[in-house]
Amino acid sequence: MSETSRSRSLFAKARNFIPGGVNSPVRAFKAVGGNPIFIKRADGAYIYDEDGNEYIELINSWGPMILGHNHPLIREAVIKAMENGTSFGAPTAREVEMAELITQMVPSVEKVRMVNSGTEATMSAIRVARGYTGKDKFIKFEGHYHGHGDSFLIAAGSGAITMGHPDSPGVTKGTAKDTLLAPFNDLEAVKKVVEANKGEVAAIILEPVAGNMGCVLPEPGFLEGLRQLCDKEGIVLIFDEVMTGFRLATGGAQQYLGVKPDMTTLGKIIGGGMPVGAYGGRKEIMDYVSPEGPVYQAGTLSGNPIAMAAGLAILNHLHETPDVYKTLEHTGSKIVNGIKDSLTTLGLPFTVNHVGSMYSLFFTEQKVTDFESAKTSDTVAFGKYFQEMLKSGIYLAPSQYESLFLSTALKDTHIDQFLSANERALKAAVKG
Q: Which residues bind ligand HOZ (CB under 6 A)?
A: 24, 26, 62, 145, 158-159, 212, 402
Which CB sits closer to ligand HOZ, 115 or 289? Answer: 115
Q: How far is the CB of 311 from ligand HOZ (least distance, A)?
A: 18
Which CB sits closer to ligand HOZ, 60 or 327? Answer: 60
Name the nearest CA neighbour of 227 among 235, 218, 219: 235
Active site (catalytic) residues: 145, 240, 268
Q: How far is the CB of 348 from ligand HOZ (least distance, A)?
A: 26
Which CB sits closer to ligand HOZ, 45 or 397? Answer: 397
Residue 206 has φ and ψ, to the nearest 5°, of -155, 160
Q: How far is the CB of 145 from ligand HOZ (least distance, A)?
A: 6
260 contacts: CB under 8 Å, gap ≥ 6: 107, 108, 227, 254
DSSP single-letter state for residue 58 = S
CB 396 within 8 A of CB 58: yes
Which CB sits closer to ligand HOZ, 36 or 305? Answer: 36
Taking CB atoms within 8 Å and a gap of at least 24, the contacts of 23-31 are 24/159, 25/159, 25/162, 25/163, 26/158, 26/159, 26/162, 26/397, 26/398, 26/399, 26/402, 27/398, 29/398, 30/162, 30/163, 31/162, 31/163, 31/379, 31/382, 31/383, 31/398, 31/399, 31/400, 31/401
Q: How far is the CB of 361 from ligand HOZ (least distance, A)?
A: 16
CA distance 360 to 216: 8
Name the nearest CA neighbour of 106 among 274, 219, 259, 291: 259
Which CB sits closer to ligand HOZ, 266 or 289? Answer: 266
Give residue number: closest CB to ligand HOZ: 24
CB 38 within 8 A of CB 22: no
Which CB sits closer to ligand HOZ, 145 or 350? Answer: 145
Q: How far is the CB of 282 from ligand HOZ (least distance, A)?
A: 25
CA distance 424 to 420: 6
Q: How far is the CB of 245 from ligand HOZ (least distance, A)?
A: 12
